[in-house]
Structure 1
Amino acid sequence: MNLLHIDSSILGDHSVSRQISAAAVAALRTANPGAEVTYRDLGANPAPHQSGALMAARGLTPDERTAEQTREVAEADAILEEFLAADTVVIGVPMYNFGIPSQLKSWIDHIAVAGKTFRYSEAGVEGLAGGKRIILASSRGGFYGPDTAAAFLQHQESYLRGFFGFIGIQDVEVLGAEGVNISPDHKQSALAAAVTQAGALGQLLKAA
């Protein structure tokens, strides 16, 4: 197994999503002792934002690029190659202002590459990244489930399911902790439930 572990929270050790993603990765590693794990912390080391300068640098030959252009192109290419090489991707994703962190959006911009993860054809869009497993370690300050009054504001999980479906990935699981800002007690109970759910990932794999 090639396992890609992404964290996007800006809260470091105080992050709920990071604790859930860590539990998921630990369970998967236990079930797959030979797994190769690649870790990328987008909170500490954000992916370069898409920009006109980066697009221009891609149009240059390597010897025409400045040192900064060379670094940014190499970083963008590495992000894509890490994703393409992964069988399973665990993503720690808190909901910020009803959507995903901008750091995670920048990462997505580097894997949404025509000809690599999707292509356009006469029949429409075809996803090219099928066969991967995506596990979202999600945290939300309030309640945004389908039966809540705020459900229409939830553009975190819905966006990610839509994006990964676009590139051909239907196997998307969510380990979620909701209402973590409601009270300290609820935060702990929601986190504990999500970590328990994450811990079961290894058991499910062994059973399969």
Structure 2
Amino acid sequence: MKILHIDSSVLGDASVSRQLTKATVDGWRARYPQAELVYRDLDAAPPEHLSGERAAVVKFGKDADLTGPQAEERVLVDAIVGEFLSADVVVIGAPMYNFSVPTQLKAWIDRLAQAGRTFRYTEKGPIGLAGGRKVVIVSSRGGVYTAGLEALDHQEAYLRTILGFLGVTEIDFVRAEGLAMGPEHRDRAVAEAHLQAKASSGLVEAA
């Protein structure tokens, strides 16, 4: 068993998503004490946003042809794809920033989506190659987007779409909503999300 833990919040210890990804990973490790854990903090070590130079790395076949940034890019892509494909469970901390995901998380996804490695195109359309693992999305949002504001949700909807494109069909959400709607609502949402975190690993039955 291998667990990949991804955090993307920029709020450090004040981050609800970081608190909940830890709880989620702790639940999985309690169930599988021998599990190997790989951790990537996208705020502490953010991937560079894609540039023309970095994106061109896929066109080069030999390391000798690469510029310095392109060589770095190849190492980064290999690491990100390798970590994901070798994991049995992937826990992704994904707070909502301006109706979408943090730019650091988007930069990570841009490296994960690699033609020929995590998906491929065929005459009948794209086929995902990265299935066979469970992904738990830890979602934190200031408002409530599951009750009438679904059209504004470009966070969970995007993650479900891109992971599905890559072939991932087993996706759970640990969701803390309404965090900006007052202390009572926040405390209740976080408490409920902790129960969801335990349920995602099978430590308790989902309500």
Superposition map of 1:40-119 within 5 A: 40-58=40-58, 59=60, 61-119=62-120
1:169/1:205 CA distance change after superposition, 3 Å: farther
Give the letter for the 2:200 counterpart. Answer: L
SS in structure 1 opposite 2:202?
Answer: helix
The aligned counterpart of 2:37 is 37
Give the AA of the match of 2:39: Y
Matching residue of 1:156:
155
Letter in 1 for 2:89: T
TM-score (norm 1): 0.92
Task: Provide the rounded CA distance (Å) in 2 between the counterparts of 1:108 and 1:123.
Answer: 24
- Decide whether the 8 Å contact of 1:140 with 1:177 is kept in 2: yes
3-state SS of the aligned residue for 1:109? helix
Which of structure 1's runs of 4+ aligned residues deviate more than 6 A? none
- State the distance in 1 between where 2:165 and 2:57 align: 27
| Equivalent residue number for residue 202 of structure 2 | 203
Report what 2:181 is aligned to. Answer: 182
C-alpha separation between the residues in 1 aligned to 2:185 and 2:157?
24
Equivalent residue for 1:20?
20
Cα distance in 1 for residues equivalent to 2:132 and 2:24:
19
Secondary structure of the residue aligned to 2:37 is strand
**Cα separation, 2, equivalents of 1:68 and 1:52:** 11
State the one-letter code of the partner of 2:184.
D
Question: How much does 1:67 deviate?
Answer: 4.0
Show the counterpart of 2:128: 127
Query: Counterpart of 1:140?
Result: 141
* Whole-Å separation in 1 of the counterparts to 2:204 and 2:111: 30
Cα RMSD (Å) of the superposition?
A: 1.7
Contact 1:116–1:128 at 8 Å: present in 2 too?
Answer: yes
Secondary structure of 1:130's aligned partner: coil
Letter of the 1:166 counterpart: F
Count of residues in correspondence between the two structures: 204
The runs of 5 or more residues in structure 2 that have no matched partner are none
| Aligned partner letter, 2:105 | L
Identity %: 49
**Mapped partners of 2:119, 2:69: distance in 1:** 28
Offset of residue 60 of structure 1: 6.2
Unmatched segments (≥5 aa) in structure 1: none
